[in-house]
């Protein structure tokens, strides 16, 4: 039957339009194929290009026509095929991802996910297959590889990120415990070496934080390898060979991008991760914690009497948890785990019962080597649950290699079964883990309060790097460490808000809190779960002022590096009048100021060198004199 002319013309126009949208020649004589993906007019845009001459793939990111990431190599190599070159395009499949979920902790509890996804399928001449899956949201671009069964072990990725040579860069030297300090360079002048994949760059397209999501024992952790003099940062895996005996989907290579406020507020790495695997999360409760390690050391951990005194103080302050750190089960005069009756001989059940009667939950420290095998976990985890322990602080994993990631897979499932919250130390960084396993309340993976070499610049960089991707157990509040920390007392109070952690561990001694009643009273108010987060002012390495909301109240924290100043903070909390109660450094210690300001006004705070402040804001009404409860 003859096709009507009008129908044929319409079909031809549609096919030409589709070709224009998905294909763009790189040179007149070479017709490279290109595919574009974005979530909206003002959102970042990914462009994947297949070079017809070499069969290599690249990915570039822009925002409103400005460079975010320059064209960067994309590819993966297995023992059976090099899937980084000689590729030919097979087909494209697209969909929209829309999800709602509620977190137990983080920058905000209610999350709405809207992403566009495209899956581009490629093959080599020999028939080896790889799919490149790309997602785009309002605040990020991400991609991953999907390999069919029979692809064999992975030998590495050719994935890399090309940045303009002069792009400002904030990088942390890679360590297996992710505790490298952040320093500022340009993309090309950073020394040759390996860096954490939580790297922040500033280009004319805005700020971009590199990250990873949905990392499990099916793969290997990534770091960035860089050679000085270039703007290229290559993905290097922790393993030379990643074992795979079936279909494989790799972790997401994520780029959180936008202005600095967008990056800081982003939950993109959580949004990319699989949905929660905990059917009933009602037992998971974030909260503030009296941490006894910097307050009392191993000696306190070995003493039931000392721990009861800490519980008494937590109860007096209405802090919901007390954490017993190292020493409580290591060969003390009372008992040790080499004794076959160690569970019976432990004083921990007595402490848990004592704390429970006072409304305080107990969290206990355990070395990873004591949870390494299924048999050890079967000994420890049910026992802790039976005692009534609320959570475990597991330490010294110090690896992101595949075998250790498989251990994470096991411990996550088993702690959920035994209703134990987790604080990982000496660990990987979040990478979406808190969405999938919400009992993970926080992770270290940071040069935190224990370090004696931290700088004020490092402290003001963390809100824009490490803490963007998930809860961070920095352990603020160690007022007794005067001379061992680079900041002022008011800045130390502000860290309880600037740094988000589902278990916010206060590292001070009771005596140091009693000597600073304004800090103590503020800590009494601070929650560990937030309904909203906003960046009020910031520049990595110089200043960070964040506001976090709980109910109708906003908590503000500010930290600064450099000389004393009068800080000017835009009060972007909403319309109306606000009662502001601000804690700052005075000549003889902490002082508090009260004033009523309108939303949109500027809050002025006198800040000492390397100082900061904390504040509490609530809607003002006649007769209201304080936001404290």
Across the strands, what pairs with 70?
162
CA 408 – CA 216 distance, rounded (Å):
8
CA 387 – CA 497 distance, rounded (Å):
32
Give the 3-state DSSP-derived string for 433-487, with helices as H, strands as E and coil as C.
HHHHCCCEEEECCCCCCCCCCCCHHHHHHHHHCHHHHCCECCCCCCCCCCCCCCC
Residue 26 CA, chain-centre distance (Å), reads 38
CA 167 – CA 287 distance, rounded (Å):
39
Q: Smallest Cα–Cα separation from 415: which of 364, 353, 466, 475? A: 364
Both tokens of 322, joined, read 């007390």
Q: What is the DSSP letter of 22?
A: H
Q: Known catalytic residue: 270?
A: no
**Residue 320 main-chain phi, psi, to 5 deg:** -75, -20
244: Cβ contacts below 8 Å, ≥ 6 apart: 78, 147, 151, 152, 153, 154, 218
Across the strands, what pairs with 168?
186, 202
Could you tell me where the DSSP H helices lie in 198-302? Answer: 260-265, 268-272, 293-301
Catalytic residue among 85, 86, 117, 450: 450
Supply the Cα-derived Rg of the chain in whole angstroms.
Answer: 26
Q: Is 244 exposed, middle or buried (0-12, 13-18, 19+ CB in 10 A)?
A: buried
Q: Smallest Cα–Cα separation from 470: which of 172, 268, 223, 210? A: 268
Which helix (H) or strand (E) segment is 520 a member of?
helix 517-525
Count of CB atoms situated within 10 Å of the CB of 529: 20
Q: Known catalytic residue: 450?
A: yes
Do 233 and 161 meet the contact criterion of CB atoms below 8 Å apart? yes
Cα separation of the two ends of the chain: 81
Count of CB atoms situated within 10 Å of the CB of 8: 11
CA 151 – CA 124 distance, rounded (Å):
12
10: Cβ contacts below 8 Å, ≥ 6 apart: none
Both tokens of 552, joined, read 């109708």
| 242: three-class secondary structure by DSSP | strand
* DSSP count for the chain of H helices, then E strands: 14, 36
Q: Smallest Cα–Cα separation from 200: which of 559, 546, 535, 466? A: 466
Catalytic residue among 157, 177, 395, 400: 395
Task: Give catalytic residues, as residue numbers.
Answer: 395, 450
């Amino acid at each position: 039957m003859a096709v009507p002319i009008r129908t044929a013309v319409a079909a031809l126009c549609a096919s030409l339009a589709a070709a224009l949208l998905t294909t763009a020649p790189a040179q007149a004589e070479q017709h490279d194929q290109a595919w574009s993906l974005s979530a909206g007019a003002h959102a970042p845009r990914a462009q994947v290009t297949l070079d017809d001459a070499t069969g290599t793939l690249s990915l570039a990111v822009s925002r409103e026509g400005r460079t975010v990431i320059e064209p960067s190599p994309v590819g993966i190599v297995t023992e059976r095929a090099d899937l980084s070159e000689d590729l030919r395009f097979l087909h494209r499949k697209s969909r929209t991802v829309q999800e709602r979920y509620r977190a137990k902790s983080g920058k905000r509890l209610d999350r709405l996910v809207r992403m566009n996804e495209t899956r581009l399928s490629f093959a080599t001449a020999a028939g080896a297959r790889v799919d490149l899956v790309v997602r785009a949201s309002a605040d990020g671009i991400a991609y991953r590889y999907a390999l069919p069964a029979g692809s064999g072990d992975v030998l590495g990725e050719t994935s890399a990120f090309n940045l303009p040579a002069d792009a400002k860069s904030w990088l942390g030297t890679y360590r297996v415990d992710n505790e490298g300090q952040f320093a500022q360079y340009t993309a090309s002048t950073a020394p040759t070496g390996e860096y954490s994949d939580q790297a922040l760059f500033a280009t004319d397209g805005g700020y971009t934080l590199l990250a990873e999501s949905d990392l499990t024992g099916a793969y290997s952790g990534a770091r960035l390898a860089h050679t000085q003099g270039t703007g290229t940062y290559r993905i290097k895996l922790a393993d030379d060979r990643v074992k795979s005996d079936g279909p494989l989907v790799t972790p997401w290579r994520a780029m959180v991008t936008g202005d600095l406020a967008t990056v800081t507020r982003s939950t993109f790495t959580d949004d990319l991760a699989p949905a929660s695997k905990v059917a009933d999360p009602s037992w998971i409760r974030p909260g503030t914690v009296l941490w006894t390690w910097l307050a009392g050391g191993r000696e306190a951990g070995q003493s039931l009497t000392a721990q009861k005194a800490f519980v008494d103080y937590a109860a007096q302050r209405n802090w919901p948890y007390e954490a017993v750190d190292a020493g409580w089960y290591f060969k003390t005069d009372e008992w040790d785990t080499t004794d076959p009756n160690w569970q019976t001989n432990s004083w921990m059940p007595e402490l848990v019962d004592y704390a429970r009667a006072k409304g305080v939950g107990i969290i206990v420290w355990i070395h990873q080597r004591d949870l390494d095998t299924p048999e050890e976990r079967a000994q420890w985890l049910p026992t802790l649950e039976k005692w009534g322990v609320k959570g475990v602080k597991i330490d010294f994993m110090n690896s992101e290699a595949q075998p250790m990631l498989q251990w994470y897979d096991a411990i996550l499932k088993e702690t959920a079964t035994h209703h134990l919250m987790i604080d990982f130390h000496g660990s990987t960084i979040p990478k979406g883990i808190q969405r999938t396993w919400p009992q993970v309340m926080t992770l270290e993976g940071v040069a935190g309060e224990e370090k004696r070499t931290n700088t004020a610049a490092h402290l003001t960089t963390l809100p824009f790097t490490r803490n963007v991707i998930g809860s961070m157990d920095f352990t603020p509040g160690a007022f007794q460490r005067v001379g061992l920390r680079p900041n002022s007392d008011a800045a130390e109070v502000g860290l309880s808000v600037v740094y988000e952690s589902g278990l916010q561990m206060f590292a001070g001694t009771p005596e140091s809190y009693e000597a600073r009643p304004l800090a103590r009273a503020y800590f009494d108010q601070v929650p560990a779960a937030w309904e909203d987060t906003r960046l009020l002012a910031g520049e990595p390495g110089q200043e960070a002022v964040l506001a976090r909301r709980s109910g109708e109240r906003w908590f503000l924290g500010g930290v600064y590096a450099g000389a004393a100043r009068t800080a000017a903070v835009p009060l972007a909390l909403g319309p109306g009048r606000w009662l502001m109660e601000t804690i700052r450094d005075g000549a003889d210690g902490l002082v508090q100021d009260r004033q009523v300001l309108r939303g949109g006004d500027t809050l002025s705070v006198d800040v000492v060198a390397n100082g900061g402040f904390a504040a509490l804001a609530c809607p003002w009404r006649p007769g209201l004199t304080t936001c404290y409860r």
